Amino acid sequence: MSAFSPRQILCPLDLTPASEGVLRWAGLFAEAFGSHLDIIHADWSEAPYFFTQGQIGELVAEAAHHRKTLSHHLHHLATKVLGSRVPFKTSVLDGSAVDIILAYIRQSPPDLIVTGSQGRSGFDRLLLGSVAENVARHAICPTLIVKGSVIPSDQHAIRSILCPAALSDTAQHSISIAADVSAAFRSDLSVLHIVEHNVLPPEDAREHLCQLVPAEVRNRCHVKEIVGSGNPAEQIILHARSEHPDLIVLGSPQRSFLEFNTLGRTTERVLRHGPSPVLLIPYRTSGH
């Protein structure tokens, strides 16, 4: 049974120049899996507290006109990028981006979220995080965060996938989903394990890694096991920069409420500094 076969894909766009690239990735998955795309944009307008009723009325009218213009622009962008290959619906909604996306997820749970990352830095990012990271922390479905490489308009496949994996049962879910994506696009799949502090000889780690990859995964795609050593985040990033995978598939631990502001150190570092789009696969950590 397939672990990953998205029928409904949510694609929030901020309508910056990067939105076209994000939409190409969403279209790529929708076309491969026969999915329907919900494309949304959040437009937030709020009157200052000192506005009079007349001024508020004018602002509401201007916001409605602006939203109508945005709706035309969003639909035109979707038609330009997707054409008739993928069924889609576009919506412009009133509210802040994170609130709108999370509300949409609660009301119409998607099978996959495809979003872009603006790449904040410094204290502002440490305190607030990006919209993409906020969504990934709360989403219970896989989230594809598009950054780095842009899919050319004439490319209709993902050619190579990197799946970093710990030697644990939680890794099997990520490997299985990576295999589903690999099979859908007929791409190569590299499963990478990084040994920390030389706790396990490389030959033993490779044997465990090979055992971790189910036989049915090998039957669906070409798999290569790779074992390295060092800091996991650093080695994953270095490997990705060296091999240039089209996509990284990475398990993302779902944290408790007290840990909601983290995705996991390795996940966050790969997400922020890796060169490729990252498909985050949520899983529950022990004790949560």
| CA neighbor of 86 nearest in space, from 8, 185, 161, 178 | 8
Residue 204 host element (H or E): helix 202-212
Give start-end residues of each CATH 3.40.50.620 domain in the chain: 8-146, 160-284
| CA neighbor of 248 nearest in space, from 184, 165, 126, 127 | 165
Model pLDDT, residue 2:
52
Model pLDDT, residue 133:
80
Q: What is the CATH number of domain 8-146?
A: 3.40.50.620
Please give the C-alpha separations between residue 177 and each of 2, 112, 118, 189, 248, in angstroms, as whole numbers. Answer: 8, 12, 26, 11, 11
Model pLDDT, residue 132:
84
134's tokens: 């906020």
Q: Tell me the chain's radius of gyration from C-alpha atoms.
A: 20
Paired strand residues for 253: 283
Model pLDDT, residue 121:
44
Q: Which backbone phi and psi does 281 adopt, to 5 degrees?
A: -110, 110
Q: Cα separation of 230 and 221, whole Å?
A: 28
* Contact call for residues 23 and 39 (beta carbons, < 8 A): yes
The 8-class DSSP code of residue 153 comes to T
As a whole number, mean pLDDT of residues 201-230 equals 85
52's tokens: 């009079």
Predicted confidence band of residue 114 (pLDDT cuts 50, 70, 90):
very high
In this predicted structure, the answer to whether residue 185 has a pLDDT above a threshold of 80 is yes
34's tokens: 């026969």
pLDDT tens profile 222-259: 899 999 999 999 999 999 999 999 999 998 876 544 34
Model pLDDT, residue 126:
39
In this predicted structure, the answer to whether residue 261 has a pLDDT above a threshold of 70 is no
As a whole number, mean pLDDT of residues 174-198 equals 90
Q: Cα separation of 274 and 148, whole Å?
A: 8
In this predicted structure, the answer to whether residue 200 has a pLDDT above a threshold of 80 is no
In this predicted structure, the answer to whether residue 104 has a pLDDT above a threshold of 90 is yes
Predicted confidence band of residue 207 (pLDDT cuts 50, 70, 90):
confident
pLDDT tens profile 36-64: 999 999 987 665 666 677 766 666 677 77
Distance of CA 89 to the CA centre of its chain: 20
8's tokens: 């409904």
Paired strand residues for 231: none
Model pLDDT, residue 259:
45
114's tokens: 């495809």
As a whole number, mean pLDDT of residues 177-194 equals 93
Residue 200 host element (H or E): none
In this predicted structure, the answer to whether residue 109 has a pLDDT above a threshold of 90 is yes
Q: What is the CATH number of domain 160-284?
A: 3.40.50.620
269's tokens: 């570092």
Model pLDDT, residue 162:
97
The whole-chain average pLDDT of the chain stands at 83
How many residues in total does the chain contain? 288
Higher pLDDT, 264 or 23: 23
Model pLDDT, residue 131:
84
In this predicted structure, the answer to whether residue 1 has a pLDDT above a threshold of 70 is no
